[in-house]
Amino acid sequence: MNFHKELDARGLNCPLPILKAKKALAEINSGDVLRVMATDPGSVRDFQAFARQTGNTLLEHSANGQEFVFFLQRK
């Protein structure tokens, strides 16, 4: 998937991946896509809730072993 900005949140625990994603989303344009890489298992639940609460779209998420990748589209 194409993305406009990437955030490496690997090694960070809740709530840091969400806080850093919120800041990164503020730096891109509406409709742009942010790719987030994280290792916190709770991040799956956290990013789903974050998308619902903020109106941003969680386009896709996947897991590869202990690494999670999220694609968020800014509203």
Where in the sequence numbering do the catalytic residues fall?
14
Residues 20, 7: contact at Cβ < 8 Å?
Answer: yes
Residues 38, 11: contact at Cβ < 8 Å?
Answer: no
6: left (phi over 0), alpha (psi -120 to 50) or beta: beta
